[in-house]
Amino acid sequence: MERLQKVIANAGITSRRKAEVMIEEGKVKVNGKVVRELGLKVGGSDKIEVNGIELTQEVKRYFLLYKPRSVMSAVSDDKKKTCCIRFFH
């Protein structure tokens, strides 16, 4: 269970603070009911709508990578060195 404003922020809709404002303005529904209360805890089975658009919760994936010394911990490098992101493509 997580706080509603955190779930909205993690979905990439807006920041936590702006999500709190949206909740107070009545722009958020949980399971079909308008929510104006901050700090409401929601779970994975709850249906959340922001401005009439339903949120889909992402499944988080974590990767553990053994990075040799010759590999950069970056997405790209202007010096054309090998970057760790290439192992995920």
What CATH number does domain 2-54 carry, 3.90.226.10, 3.10.290.10, 2.60.120.10, 3.40.50.1980? 3.10.290.10
pLDDT reading at 3 higher than 70: yes
Give the closest residue to 1 by CA, choosing from 56, 52, 43: 43
The pTM assigned to this predicted structure is 0.67
pLDDT of residue 33: 97
Domain boundaries defined on the chain: 2-54, 61-89
Average pLDDT over residues 10-38: 95
pLDDT 10s digits, 51-79: 999 998 777 788 887 878 877 777 777 87
pLDDT of residue 82: 81
pLDDT 10s digits, 25-41: 999 999 999 999 999 99
Neighbouring residues of 41: CB distance < 8 A, sequence distance ≥ 6: 1, 2, 3, 4
pLDDT tier for residue 89 given thresholds of 50, 70 and 90: low
